[in-house]
Amino acid sequence: MQIALLGGTGDIGEGLALRWGHDTDHDIVVGSREAEKAEGKADEYNAELADRGVDAAIAGRENPEAAADADVVVLSVPAYYLADTIDAVAGNLDGSVLVSPAVGMKRDGAGMHYNPPGVGSVTQLAAKSAPDDVPVVGAFHNLAAGRLADLDADLEWDVPVVADDADAKSTVLDLAEDIDGLRALDAGGLSNAAEVESLTPLLINVAANNDGLHDLGVKFW
């Protein structure tokens, strides 16, 4: 399977690229608005994996080219870039599953707060922005990016996955479980995305106010 990580030069993109590159044989393509930046990051990821004995071939391309041949396209961009990123690649999404891990947040003196768009959640915004025939899945919202990108770290996290398209949801559930230490859980349809996304500012606030909890994730028992 080919996975495109649009905005894959950022923190969540880096973690997913390294984990899929390390734990699977999927073809990984890092996307960016600038091809040179994407190529440079892909080289860095390949070098890190090579140091661990993994012969990866992560590619770097401009976002539209990265999306063109992908089976799954992950929007690993901040929420405020999401709609523009989808617009830029919309013509190259035929046959792809679109995955949104972005969360809308704002900070004040008390900490981080959930800040969803008017449609209810960032995942629902992705669905509204995407072409009608492209299924959208919400996943990977609650992962601590630093720990995700640290291949020496064990994860032991759960990944709630939301979608209205059953086949697309099944694809992403499997992709999440391909990463060692992640357990994918069906959290229902897209209308449940706000409940999943809103966990992220809570995790950040708990991590910020308690020693030793800077790499929090979600685990259900």
Mean pLDDT calculated for residue range 190-209: 97
Note whether 218 and 199 are within 8 A (CB).
Answer: yes
Q: What is the CATH number of the domain that holds 54?
A: 3.40.50.720
Residue 216 lies in a domain: no
Per residue in 140-169, pLDDT (tens digit) is 999 999 999 999 999 999 999 999 999 999
Query: Is the predicted pLDDT of residue 214 greater than 90, yes or no?
Result: no
Mean residue pLDDT across the chain: 96
Burial 1-39, CB ≥16 within 10 A → b, else e = bbbbbbbbbbebbbbbbbbbbbebeebbbbbbbeeebbb
Residue 87 lies in a domain: yes
Residue 220 lies in a domain: no
Mean pLDDT calculated for residue range 97-126: 97
Q: Residue 213's pLDDT band (boundaries 50, 70, 90)? A: confident
| Whole-angstrom distance, CA of residue 185 vs CA of residue 87 | 29
Task: Sort 42 into a burial class: Cβ within 10 Å, 0-12 / 13-18 / 19+.
Answer: buried
Residue 214 lies in a domain: no
Q: Residue 212's pLDDT band (boundaries 50, 70, 90)? A: confident
Structural domain range at position 90: 2-209
pTM, entire model: 0.96
